[in-house]
Amino acid sequence: MERVSKVQCTVGESPTWSAAEGAWYWVDIPARRVWRLDASTGAARYWDNAEMVACVAAKAGGGLIAGMETGIFSLALGADQNAVALKLATPASDLGEGMRFNDGRCDRQGRFWSGTMFMDMSAAKAVGQLYRYDARGISAPFVSELLTQNGTAFSPDGRTMYLSDSHPQRRMVWAFDYDIADGVPTNRRVFADMTAEAGRPDGAAVDAEGCYWVCGNDGGYIARFTPQGKLDRRVEVPMLKPSMCAFGGKDLDTLLVTSIVSGKPEDAEWGGSVVMLRPGVKGVAETPFGA
Is 120 part of any known ligand binding site?
yes
- Percent helix, strand and coil across the chain, each to the nearest 5: 0, 55, 40
Strand partners, 259: 242
Q: 100 a known binding residue?
A: yes
Nearby residues of 99 by Cβ (< 8 Å), 6 or more positions away: 69, 116, 117, 118, 119, 127
Distance CA 216, CA 17 (A): 21
Cα distance between residue 118 and residue 149, in whole Å: 10
Q: Note whether 199 and 216 are within 8 A (CB).
A: yes
Catalytic one of 202, 207, 218, 267: 202
Decide: helix, strand or coil at residue 108. coil
Annotation marks residue 38 as catalytic: no
Number of H helices, E strands in the chain: 0, 25
SS3 156: coil
Strand order in the sheet with 273-277: 2-8, 273-277, 254-259, 242-248
- Ligand-binding annotation for 187, yes or no, is no
Residue 150 counted as an annotated binding residue: yes
First to last CA, the chain: 33
Give the strand pairing for 2-8 and 149-154: unpaired
Give the residue ranges of the annotated binding site for a divalent metal cation. 13, 150, 202
Give the residue ranges of the annotated binding site for substrate. 100, 102, 120
Give the residue ranges of the annotated binding site. 13, 100, 102, 120, 150, 202
Active site residues: 202
